[in-house]
Structure 1
Amino acid sequence: MTTTPVSTSIDELCINTVRALAMDAVQKAESGHPGAPMALAPLAYLLYTRHLKHNPADPAWPDRDRFVLSNGHASMLLYASLHLSGYPLSLDEIRNFRQWGSLTPGHPEHGLTPGIETTTGPLGQGLANAVGMAAAEAHLAAVFNRDGHRVIDHHTWFICGDGDLMEGVSHEAASFAGHFGLGKLIGFYDDNRITIDGSTDLTYSDDAARRFEAYGWHVRRVPDVNDLDALDAAIAAARAEPARPSLLIVRSVIGYGSPNRAGTAKAHGEPLGTEEVARSKERLGWTVAEPFTVPEDVLAHWRRGNEALAFANDAWRRSLIAYAKAYPAEAKELGRRLQGDLPGGWQQALPVFTRENGSVATRAASGTVLNALAARIPELVGGSADLSGSNLTIIKDSPVFSAANPAGRNVHFGVREHGMGGILNGMALHGGVIPYGGTFLVFADYMRPAIRLAALMHQRVIYVFTHDSIGLGEDGPTHQPVEHLTALRAIPNVTVIRPADANEVAEAWRAALLHRGGPVALVLTRQKVPFIEREG
């Protein structure tokens, strides 16, 4: 497929700089994915220069917009945008793309590179994380905002591709987002109709628009990603939909600008080759021969709005001061939660079980402990994958999280274990809440990719896995976990605790809340266990 040469306007020059950097970095690394960054450069340019509320000088601004690249293999799109926007990511790091020790690994890694909100690569996970971030924003806004004081007020954005939408986790998470009316979630589906094996016609004929409309999303199409005005109009329409998440289906050409590879699977996951890079740059009107060149006027244009972004950040901090004067207790509580600190005296709420009340199933003890702690730790927010009565994850006398009441703390995730895992990660990454989720231990298998990512990202997520053995009852081998403890313990950085009695459950919850370096799995019985006498 051939492509039409683009103009030499400043917008096009800024966009083509992203394309050139993507081609150069992948070529130098001799591996990577140039096609999607070349296709989506106009969208990234538009988002970072006109729409995202962010501040390159303060990547951790609590009220920033969150942006997730779910198709993480397109990482050069993100790295080029961050560098050009002024984040602390140097051009040398772009040159070291996919090299050991660089800040530009093959797939984005949270906690390594400034401006990266989550680790993506396993397709579909980023979409689910974005849903969790939007849910956390909705919850915190409902809890803390007051008339005239919108201290939590930001959007969550994501880009996904065909592969993300093929993965089952995307169905679970998108269904959740539509049901709960997460209107400040805006996604872009890169409809390039290409997979690694070839055309999507080989395997994928879903009508994504009707699918997401059925979930309750607002859906619009943009026929050409290079049409900045059409993209702007679609984004404006999405922002005007406060009660529904939005999916903007954007048609693109993978490897845009490449004379011989554009629109083909050969543009997806390998370098274009030195000669094809040169031809592509010529086709795009890129006249600079030296690789990794960023024209000064391009850098200035990408960063022309940074002063206004910094001012918005400062304005938010001034609004926080005004909020603190009007609502001092709420402001102090918000600050504590955003810092991730636990409230003073919370450990005094831990129950102590006796011989009289301690001979219970450890899941029952967990329900008691959770409710005792929830009264002291209001940021505990979570629920179960349709097993709350079995996992005992309900916080009593607390409302249910819903579209009408996002301040609720009891989240009904539905029969969506994998989606729940990804959403929990997004909630933890957003901050301000400590998310937990429950299901039967045997169904931890459904969550495994999300658990592994929580571990990689060192996220504070608590799993309540009940019915931990053949003692679960009469459901038979399909529900009897045998290999699951070993499988969970094999994941680096996952803390697995299987308490022996009720008091050990209390200690397990204490350990889970104190541990800020990774997820904790509490593995609990259905059957009663005897109280253990302890001395001293």
Structure 2
Amino acid sequence: MSEPHIDALSINTLRFLAVDAVEKARSGHPGMPMGAAPMAYALWTRLLRFDPQAPRWPDRDRFVLSAGHGSMLLYGLLHLAGFGLTLEDLKSFRQWGSKTPGHPEFGETPGVETTTGPLGQGISAAVGMAIAERHLAARYNRPGFEVVDHWTYVIAGDGDLMEGVSAEAASLAGHLGLGRLVVLYDDNRITIEGGTDLTFSEDVEARFRAYGWQTLTVEDGNDPDAVEAALRQARAEPDRPSLIRVRTHIGYGSPGKQDSADAHGAPLGPDEVRRTKERLGWPAEPEFHVPDRAREPFRRAAERGRAERERWEALMARYREQHPDLAAEFERRMAGELPDGWDQAVPTFDPDAKGVATRGAGGKVLNALAARVPELMGGSADLGPSTKTLLNGEDDFSRHTPAGRNLRFGVREHAMAAVLNGMANHGGFRPFGSTFFVFSDYLRPSLRLAALMKLPVIHVFTHDSIFVGEDGPTHQPVEHLASLRAMPNLVVLRPADANETAEAWRVALERTGGPTALVLTRQNVPVLDRGALAPASGLRRGGYVLREASAGPEGVRMILVATGSEVHLALQAADRLEADGVPTRVVSLPSWELFEEQDPAYRDEVLPSAVPARVAVEAGSPFGWDRYAGPAGAVVAIDRFGASAPAGVLAERFGFTVDNVVSTARRVLERAG
């Protein structure tokens, strides 16, 4: 415990840095930082282990502000703790190019562990961080060498706990017994529309106890000593995550806006700022006032953190001597580097007319990679046998077997993706998750955050088209390819056969600038005879000439472009057109994103502007295909929902037949003259 006067001084500094920054920006959320400052202060100055001089130190504690709209609370903490955020940075809150964007953004500001703002995402990612810590500790710690030994802390609000994703993640965390996860629940009882009693009357603590959490209560959120005591009690429970409900007051100290929705998402206004400062004994001028003594508790915490880091580095030096192989692997993983020879065991698949589903091929490739890449860890949303993503010979990750690499997420797609984000944020993992492609809708907000943060998360989406068949339109993706292709930083890969699938996995593991979606078939597709065609490595460029026209590059009259299972349809249609005297090129275009990264000369070589007669074929929405079909071309696609019927019937009804592709190509040729 520290001197009460210093506590109050530091807490009010945090409050008014937020108030002044929001006022200067003329937008933002002052109320949450004003109410939650005492709990954040208690955590940061008394328990949280951090070193501003080494913000990515592997064994630091992780802090997640899940209520990301209160970002100025986090920026104030980072400023006072010495993370390199200057007062000028705080004054440029919410401005172009600043280190203090409206919501915390991973990679933009030192000390920000994950991007938050969409409510529920932060607490859910924190579950992934806690899983990461537990797994790494089980794999690398040895007697006398606790090289992985840290905590994950969260501040979450009412809105976080209303969101379904947090319920999914909290249920999983309780089931797994993640005892090093502690959530401070900012119970201020206000949302944008008014009091939480409008919509949220549940017993939150009872719900979390039912999930398997320890629950604690601090009735006076302005008492940092009580918060500290609760935090220490939470840390004493090794087998359950902890939720600490802290009763706070939004806009604390504001005479006209405390405990009001008016304090949530708008500046207090000049008059109310003046009155609030008077009430809390704070000087009206200057703005962004930071008394030097207010920094002292944070300086001491940073000094303790530096000493802890130095002790850890000394421990690591001894660990390298005693356990050199483990140390080398751990440090390589935390550096985000793949092991030497990581892809040497990736299988190649012999030509096979009967073929194999790309989901099946993907499972074989995944297991070959997992044997050499220990950081590959993940699972499915209760669909492992269908998505073929179980790691053979590996235990499940559980409270009893934390070294296991198979993650059983249950039917929790949204939390699965958020947990994967947290594992990637933590470092040391190349996490993957899987579900049916149609259920990518259930996890899209978390996938979007992975793209925003440029996290190397891998999503395996199987059952990729209407050819799911009898399960019907609820399980048949139509608009999903177009939707995911619209997302920045996400690479979508829809391979045509088993060997393209192997290349797709290579690309996914090599990528570090964002997530990758592997879109795979349920049904068998032929394994192509690459002796007569281009090698599958062409996938790495996004699109390539799979088979050239009989007349050679100069004699091409028609180009058929396709992805995934429809590549085989395009090859059959090309045979028919060639037999009719139409020199036809077939292009496999498994990734629009990778293709667009190629130089213009290569793209024109594959899809020459001199050949306007093109037909694109894909069992999905036609949206966007005009860029490759061109103004004179056509698209064989599906612009309605599917139906429940065998796959062959659906192909016939929706026009995915050789006859329809050929007749479409002939119409294009007629128009082209």
Instruction: Calculate the TM-score normalised by the size of structure 2.
Output: 0.78
Q: Note the C-alpha offset of 1:357.
A: 9.2
Deviations 1:16-47 (A, max 9, x none): 00111111000000000000000011111111
User: Which of 379, 383, 389 is matched with 2:379 structurally?
Assistant: 383
More off after superposition, 41-50 vs 304-313: 304-313
Residue of structure 2 in register with 1:479 after alignment: 475
User: Quick check: 1:406 aligned with 2:411?
Assistant: no
1:8, 1:285 within 8 Å by CA — same for their partners in 2? no
Q: Note the C-alpha offset of 1:305.
A: 3.0
Residue of structure 2 in register with 1:192 after alignment: 188
Q: Note the C-alpha offset of 1:459.
A: 0.1
Q: Note the C-alpha offset of 1:474.
A: 1.1
Residue of structure 1 in register with 2:61 after alignment: 65
Counterpart secondary structure, 1:464: strand
Counterpart secondary structure, 2:119: coil
Residue of structure 1 in register with 2:507 after alignment: 511
More off after superposition, 370-379 vs 283-292: 283-292
2:252, 2:258 within 8 Å by CA — same for their partners in 1? yes
Counterpart secondary structure, 2:432: strand
User: Quick check: 1:520 aligned with 2:513?
Assistant: no
Distance 1:423 1:193 in 2: 27
Residue of structure 2 in register with 1:260 after alignment: 256
2:65, 2:156 within 8 Å by CA — same for their partners in 1? yes
Q: Note the C-alpha offset of 1:285.
A: 1.2
User: Quick check: 1:250 aligned with 2:272?
Assistant: no
Q: Note the C-alpha offset of 1:288.
A: 5.0
Residue of structure 2 in register with 1:318 after alignment: 314
Counterpart secondary structure, 1:383: strand
Q: Note the C-alpha offset of 1:249.
A: 0.4
2:43, 2:228 within 8 Å by CA — same for their partners in 1? no
* Structure having the higher Rg: 2
| Structure with greater contact order relative to length (CA < 8 Å, sep ≥ 6) | 1
**Cα separation, partners in 2 of 1:326 and 1:358, compared to 1, 3 Å:** farther
Residue of structure 2 in register with 1:367 after alignment: 363
User: Quick check: 1:136 aligned with 2:132?
Assistant: yes
Which consecutive residues of structure 1, in runs of 5 or more, have no partner in the other structure?
1-6
Residue of structure 1 in register with 2:224 after alignment: 228
Distance 2:110 2:160 in 1: 24
Distance 2:471 2:305 in 1: 57
Which amino acid counterpart does residue 79 of structure 1 have in structure 2?
Answer: Y
Alignment map for 1:209-228 (pairs within 5 Å): 209-228=205-224
Q: Note the C-alpha offset of 1:229.
A: 1.9
Q: Note the C-alpha offset of 1:346.
A: 1.3
Distance 1:302 1:313 in 2: 16
Which amino acid counterpart does residue 113 of structure 1 have in structure 2?
Answer: T
Q: Note the C-alpha offset of 1:347.
A: 1.6
Count of residue correspondences:
530
Residue of structure 1 in register with 2:39 after alignment: 43
Residue of structure 1 in register with 2:25 after alignment: 29
Distance 2:292 2:48 in 1: 23
Distance 2:518 2:301 in 1: 47
User: Which of 307, 323, 332 is matched with 1:327 structurally?
Assistant: 323
Deviations 1:479-532 (A, max 9, x none): 000001111111111100000000000000000000011000000000000111
Which amino acid counterpart does residue 304 of structure 1 have in structure 2?
Answer: R
Residue of structure 1 in register with 2:525 after alignment: 529
Distance 1:229 1:179 in 2: 31
Distance 2:47 2:393 in 1: 40
Distance 1:43 1:244 in 2: 21
Distance 1:211 1:357 in 2: 54
Which amino acid counterpart does residue 388 of structure 1 have in structure 2?
Answer: G
**Cα separation, partners in 2 of 1:502 and 1:229, compared to 1, 3 Å:** same
1:22, 1:77 within 8 Å by CA — same for their partners in 2? yes
Q: Note the C-alpha offset of 1:356.
A: 4.6
Q: Note the C-alpha offset of 1:302.
A: 2.5
User: Which of 488, 494, 497 is matched with 1:498 structurally?
Assistant: 494
Distance 1:35 1:13 in 2: 18
Which amino acid counterpart does residue 152 of structure 1 have in structure 2?
Answer: V
Q: Note the C-alpha offset of 1:286.
A: 1.0
User: Which of 256, 262, 273 is matched with 2:269 structurally?
Assistant: 273
Counterpart secondary structure, 1:271: coil
User: Quick check: 1:395 aligned with 2:396?
Assistant: no
Q: Note the C-alpha offset of 1:358.
A: 8.0
Distance 1:74 1:482 in 2: 38
RMSD of aligned Cα (Å): 1.1
Distance 2:146 2:514 in 1: 31
More off after superposition, 154-163 vs 305-314: 305-314
User: Quick check: 1:448 aligned with 2:444?
Assistant: yes
Distance 1:305 1:189 in 2: 23
1:68, 1:126 within 8 Å by CA — same for their partners in 2? yes
Distance 1:76 1:167 in 2: 22
Distance 1:141 1:357 in 2: 47
Which amino acid counterpart does residue 356 of structure 2 have in structure 1?
Answer: V
Which amino acid counterpart does residue 395 of structure 1 have in structure 2?
Answer: L
Q: Note the C-alpha offset of 1:364.
A: 0.3
Counterpart secondary structure, 2:155: strand
2:44, 2:301 within 8 Å by CA — same for their partners in 1? no
Distance 1:494 1:317 in 2: 36
Give the fraction of aligned pairs with identical amino acids, expressed as a percent. 61
Deviations 1:124-165 (A, max 9, x none): 000110000000110000000011100001000001111111
1:63, 1:153 within 8 Å by CA — same for their partners in 2? yes
User: Which of 270, 279, 282 is matched with 2:278 structurally?
Assistant: 282
Distance 1:305 1:347 in 2: 44
Deviations 1:61-90 (A, max 9, x none): 000000000110000000000000111110
User: Quick check: 1:344 aligned with 2:334?
Assistant: no
1:144, 1:152 within 8 Å by CA — same for their partners in 2? yes
1:172, 1:416 within 8 Å by CA — same for their partners in 2? yes
Distance 2:251 2:233 in 1: 28
Residue of structure 2 in register with 1:4 after alignment: none
Residue of structure 2 in register with 1:202 after alignment: 198
Deviations 1:283-316 (A, max 9, x none): 1111352101111111233312322211111110
2:125, 2:420 within 8 Å by CA — same for their partners in 1? yes
User: Which of 13, 16, 20 is matched with 1:20 structurally?
Assistant: 16
1:358, 1:501 within 8 Å by CA — same for their partners in 2? no
Residue of structure 2 in register with 1:118 after alignment: 114
Deviations 1:298-336 (A, max 9, x none): 123331232221111111000001111111110011011
Distance 1:50 1:320 in 2: 25
Residue of structure 2 in register with 1:177 after alignment: 173
2:152, 2:181 within 8 Å by CA — same for their partners in 1? yes
Distance 1:229 1:437 in 2: 41
Counterpart secondary structure, 1:530: strand
**Cα separation, partners in 2 of 1:99 and 1:358, compared to 1, 3 Å:** farther
Distance 2:222 2:464 in 1: 53
Distance 2:265 2:355 in 1: 57
Distance 2:256 2:161 in 1: 27
Residue of structure 1 in register with 2:653 after alignment: none
User: Quick check: 1:89 aligned with 2:85?
Assistant: yes
Q: Note the C-alpha offset of 1:473.
A: 3.1
2:278, 2:284 within 8 Å by CA — same for their partners in 1? no
Instruction: Calculate the TM-score normalised by the size of structure 1.
Output: 0.98
1:358, 1:503 within 8 Å by CA — same for their partners in 2? no
